[in-house]
Amino acid sequence: MKYVLVCGAGGFIGHHLVARLKAEGCWVRGVDLKRPEFSSSVADDFVLADLRDPQSAWACLDRRFDEVYQLAADMGGAGYVFSGDNDAEIMRNSALINLNVLEACRQSGAGRVFFSSSACIYPQFNQDDPDRPECAEHTAYPAAPDSEYGWEKLFAERLYLAHARNHGMICRIARYHNIFGPEGAWQGGREKAPAALCRKVAQAVDGGSIELWGDGRQTRSFLFIDECLEGTLRLMRSDCEQPVNIGSEEMIAIDALALLIARIAGKRLSLKHIPGPTGVRGRNSDNRLIRERLGWMPTASLEAGLVPTYRWIAAQLAPPGGIEPPIRP
């Protein structure tokens, strides 16, 4: 039996990861400040704890785990990360979590440690052109992330790499690019573009309009949760010691994303652009390294993931016992 710890198990990716690890037959302990919002955790043991506190981190790692997935972080969508208002909290909270979890992993002799970094570590100057962003792993330096969230992730990457070098720990680092799917934040300010747009489309009347932040020409790629989990497990169990992108290469402008969701919903909508935090102009995953190192890369289409995501968000908005909105096949 493999013993696994998932930090951030009450969050979007962590909650799905717990289910995937349980389906594989692992014994799983989840830890988070909160329980998952939309369905109960299937973890064997779920600990409510604040990993900013070293004693709590040690208590969660009171035994040797074969695998530790460190996904806990203070994060959110553009409205939370790029407004500037939360910079100090984001840096302090996430750095404390990483320092404490890693030290507890070292002391308890954890087998393998996974850290979820982010595409936000890539330099802003390589992402000014929405049609040709550069996010190959080696372009991370000279560093110039556009957010403090990205700087903290870069610091944490180096922290894990240094522990691997100096203490012989086995650490694996993924740079996630915009993960989406059912049971992710979809309202309240921490939701990301796909969930926010699904909500806006679901709330709009056919023939009406929805508001988008920025000019709508900024580009991104979005990875469905199932492929994120597949990549995470493959990376964790690989011999790849360097940080790698886990993302989709299907880049799309935000306007086109909104229209795609409207098409899935079977609605004709016009787009209204309003000022708002947008982040870099363009970002896309570069999957050459993951393909080379793992012999695998994500392949599912964006639309295939948006259909269940839209369906789930629309159902959240539907009155209890009410009729679900139609979805185009």
Instruction: Check residue 224 for interaction with ligand NAD (CB under 6 A).
Output: no
Residue 174 main-chain phi, psi, to 5 deg: -110, 140
Q: In the chain, what is the straight-line distance between the N-terminal and C-terminal CA atoms, in Å? A: 41
Instruction: Check residue 193 for interaction with ligand NAD (CB under 6 A).
Output: no
- H/E stretch holding 49 reads none
> For residues 217 and 255, what is the distance between their CA atoms, to the nearest angstrom?
6
Q: What is the C-alpha R_g of the chain?
A: 19
Instruction: Check residue 74 for interaction with ligand NAD (CB under 6 A).
Output: yes
Considering only 21-29, 50-58, 61-69, 133-141, which stretch makes contact with ligand NAD by CB under 6 A? Answer: 50-58
Q: Which is nearer to ligand NAD, 123 or 204 (CB)?
A: 123
- Which residue pairs from 39-48 have beta carbons closer than 8 angstroms and sit at least 24 positions apart in sequence? 39/15, 39/183, 41/9, 41/10, 41/15, 42/18, 43/6, 43/9, 43/18, 46/9, 46/10
Q: Using the structure block, give the residue that is written with the tokens 């573009």.
A: 193
Instruction: Check residue 69 for interaction with ligand NAD (CB under 6 A).
Output: no
Per DSSP, 326 falls in state P
Q: Using the structure block, give the residue that is written with the tokens 């796909």.
A: 194
Is position 160 annotated as part of the catalytic site?
A: no
Instruction: Check residue 11 for interaction with ligand NAD (CB under 6 A).
Output: yes
Pairing of strands 179-180, 67-70: unpaired
Tell me the closest approach of the beta carbon of residue 326 to ligand NAD, in angstroms.
Answer: 28
CB atoms within 10 A of CB 34: 9
| Interface map 145-164 toward ligand NAD (x if CB under 6 A) | --------------------
Please tell me whether residue 269 adopts helix, strand or coil conformation.
coil
Instruction: Check residue 172 for interaction with ligand NAD (CB under 6 A).
Output: no
Instruction: Check residue 176 for interaction with ligand NAD (CB under 6 A).
Output: yes
Considering only 73-81, 125-133, 233-241, 260-268, which stretch makes contact with ligand NAD by CB under 6 A? Answer: 73-81
Tell me the closest approach of the beta carbon of residue 155 to ligand NAD, in angstroms.
Answer: 13
Catalytic site residue from 149, 160, 176, 310: 149
In the region spanning residues 81 to 110, those forming contacts with ligand NAD, defined by CB under 6 A, are 93, 97
Tell me the closest approach of the beta carbon of residue 117 to ligand NAD, in angstroms.
Answer: 7
Q: Which is nearer to ligand NAD, 59 or 327 (CB)?
A: 59
Q: Which residues bind ligand NAD (CB under 6 A)?
A: 8, 10-14, 32-34, 50-52, 71-75, 93, 97, 116, 118, 176, 178-179, 192
Q: Which residues are catalytic?
A: 149
